[in-house]
């Protein structure tokens, strides 16, 4: 899937359908009847797809009469309207509902996920050139290479077959992964059941195995590789089981864990690897929108192959 293979009008049209399946036309009965909430969501998804600012998105919509007709817009919303819409529509509970609606549209009738994987990826905060990073080093004849002390961290729960995002957890890093698996599983979209969950050694703990298997009924496969290297059996029943199974067929199933790395690359390559938002919550909203836009693009590809 690449951005060049999809038109912005199709992306906006499909995002409008996603919004119509999850959102009321207006936020409340006294809201001005200028733009509906699904229309504003479609424009926010289009902004993410174009990797544009709010002001540039306003200019593009004003110049694109066919797009306005496609979305049923009688006038162009200004950039402040889009900014306020992002604050309202991308709250965690509502954003999770929109992500689920886009995922179910891409999944079709399939609700049982045979194999899913979880992992996190880092997104840079702001636009900083490599030359500036090197130049700002305070030591003589030493070039600095580190761009950041903090970064946006997006944990994704992904279907290994279709690359659809089944759950997202936006936050700010650096943070360890081992204590984020519970929140990632709790953020799984409604109506979807996972049979097997794959994760790397960063999520290795007996508590994570117990929670995935006992609370959600998911077969967790995580290599028991955390801690110092030792020949002693791992502590905990499930971690010892992982040591035994990884010598046999379980390693073949675990080989599909790299599919979540593919989704991380798709987001960074097709959309962006930098967060332009300044505050913590606006950065979280931008990461939610990245996940929703990715699912919309996957749904478009699914529809194209189904009709083709």
pLDDT digit string, tens, across residues 44-67: 999 999 999 999 999 999 999 999
- In tens digits, what is the pLDDT along the chain, a chain of 308 residues? 656 557 888 999 999 999 999 899 998 888 888 999 999 999 999 999 999 999 999 999 999 999 999 999 999 999 999 999 999 999 989 999 999 999 998 898 888 999 999 999 999 887 766 666 666 666 666 666 665 568 899 999 999 999 999 999 999 988 899 999 999 999 999 889 999 999 998 999 999 999 999 999 999 999 888 777 777 777 888 888 888 877 665 566 788 899 999 999 999 999 998 898 889 999 999 999 999 999 999 998 876 544 44
What pLDDT is attached to residue 306?
A: 46
Contacts of 5 (CB under 8 A, 6+ apart): 301
What pLDDT is attached to residue 18?
A: 92
What pLDDT is attached to residue 303?
A: 64
Task: Provide φ and ψ at 109, rounded to 5°.
Answer: -85, -10
Task: Provide φ and ψ at 290, rounded to 5°.
Answer: -60, -45
What pLDDT is attached to residue 155?
A: 96
- Name 151's bridge partners: 173
What pLDDT is attached to residue 163?
A: 95
What pLDDT is attached to residue 4?
A: 58
The string of pLDDT tens digits covering residues 202-239 is: 999 999 999 999 999 999 999 888 777 777 777 888 88
Alpha helices (H) along the chain: 8-22, 37-50, 54-63, 65-71, 79-89, 92-107, 130-135, 181-186, 206-210, 237-245, 250-254, 258-270, 280-307
What pLDDT is attached to residue 235?
A: 81
How many alpha carbons lie under 13 Å from residue 302 in its C-beta half-sphere?
20
> Distance between CA atoms of 179 and 164, rounded to whole angstroms?
23
> Distance between CA atoms of 3 and 146, rounded to whole angstroms?
30
- What kind and span of H or E run contains 168? strand 165-173
Report yes or no: 116 and 263 within 8 Å, Cβ to Cβ.
no
């Amino acid at each position: 899937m690449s951005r060049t293979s999809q038109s912005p009008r199709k992306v906006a049209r499909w995002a409008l359908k996603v919004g119509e399946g999850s959102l009321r036309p207006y936020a409340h009965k006294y809201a001005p009847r200028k733009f509906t909430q699904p229309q504003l969501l479609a424009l926010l998804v289009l902004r993410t797809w174009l990797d544009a600012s709010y002001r540039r998105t306003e200019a593009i919509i004003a110049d694109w009469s066919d797009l306005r007709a496609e979305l049923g817009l009688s006038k162009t919303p200004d950039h402040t309207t889009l900014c306020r819409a992002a604050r309202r529509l991308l709250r965690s509970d509502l954003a999770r509902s929109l992500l689920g609606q886009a995922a179910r549209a891409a999944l079709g009738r399939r609700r049982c996920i045979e194999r899913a994987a979880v992992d996190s990826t880092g997104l840079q905060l702001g636009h900083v050139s490599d030359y500036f990073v090197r130049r700002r080093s305070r030591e003589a004849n030493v070039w600095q290479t580190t761009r950041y002390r903090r970064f946006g961290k997006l944990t994704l729960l992904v279907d290994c077959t279709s690359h659809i995002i089944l759950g997202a957890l936006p936050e700010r890093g650096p943070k360890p992964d081992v204590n984020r698996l519970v929140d990632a599983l709790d953020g799984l979209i409604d109506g979807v059941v996972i049979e097997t969950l794959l994760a790397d050694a960063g999520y290795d703990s007996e508590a994570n195995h117990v929670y995935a298997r006992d609370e959600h009924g998911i077969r967790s496969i995580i290599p028991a590789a955390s801690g110092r290297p030792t020949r002693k059996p791992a502590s905990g029943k499930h971690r010892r089981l992982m040591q035994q199974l990884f010598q046999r067929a379980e390693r073949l199933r675990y080989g599909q864990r790299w599919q979540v790395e593919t989704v991380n690359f798709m987001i960074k390559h097709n959309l962006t690897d930098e967060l332009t938002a300044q505050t913590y919550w606006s950065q979280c909203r931008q990461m939610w929108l990245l996940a929703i836009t990715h699912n919309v693009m996957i749904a478009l590809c699914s529809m194209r192959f189904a009709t083709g």
